[in-house]
Amino acid sequence: MPRIDPLLNFNFIVEIDGIAQAGFMECSGFGASTDPVEINEGGFNSASHKLAGRTKQNNITLKWGLTTSLDLYNWYRDVVNGKIRRLDGSIIIHDLEGTEQARWDFFRAWPTKWDGPDFNAKGNEAAVETLEIAHERLERVR
């Protein structure tokens, strides 16, 4: 059986419907958790059953170097102005040859928080913007 090596975490892209953006520096927070619900058995109080309750989706956080593109900022500004555009997207991991190896699709996403860059005249790092997006579902499809 051939060995399956782990994928490297730096070779990824994020696609969001209708938004063209340069490469992202960081993508984090995608995951979910399902709360257990305890049900006590009637008449026999020493036992309880655990059932699956509500599943909560974590927000996805995207970080990218500041560019002249306003696409992601304007998506957030629409929310501030009462126009929520829900978009679908994907987080895609490539191998070193550029072939897609893993993909997570998220659905009905909208931006819930935007952070602008910090500036420091003594530094030489890229100015970084951050966008946190809420979504209704995340699936690993590959």
On whether residue 3 sits in a domain, the answer given is: no
- What is residue 79's predicted lDDT score, i.e. its pLDDT? 97
Q: Name the stretches of the chain with pLDDT < 70.
A: 20, 22, 44-45
pLDDT digits (tens, 9 = 90+) for 37-72: 998 877 766 778 899 999 999 999 999 999 899 999
Return the pLDDT at 4. 86
Query: 121: domain CATH number?
Result: 2.30.110
Instruction: Provide the pLDDT for residue 137.
Output: 94
Q: What is the extent of the structural domain holding 109?
A: 12-140
3-state SS, residue 75: helix
| Tokens (6 digits) for 26 | 């960081």
With beta carbons less than 8 A apart as the criterion, state whether 19 and 72 touch.
Answer: yes
How confident is the model at residue 59, as a pLDDT? 98
Composition of the chain by helix, strand, coil, percent to 5: 5, 50, 45
**Which H or E run includes 105?**
strand 100-115
**4 assigned to some structural domain:** no
Whether 132 maps to a domain, the answer reads yes
β-bridge mates for residue 140, sequence order: 104
**Res 41: pLDDT:** 75
Please report the pLDDT score of residue 95 as a whole number: 92
Give which of 73, 76, 61, 68 is closest to 26, Cα–Cα: 61
Burial class of residue 104 in the structure, from the number of CB atoms within 10 Å of its CB (0-12 exposed, 13-18 middle, 19+ buried): buried
Contact of 76 with 109, CB cutoff 8 Å: no
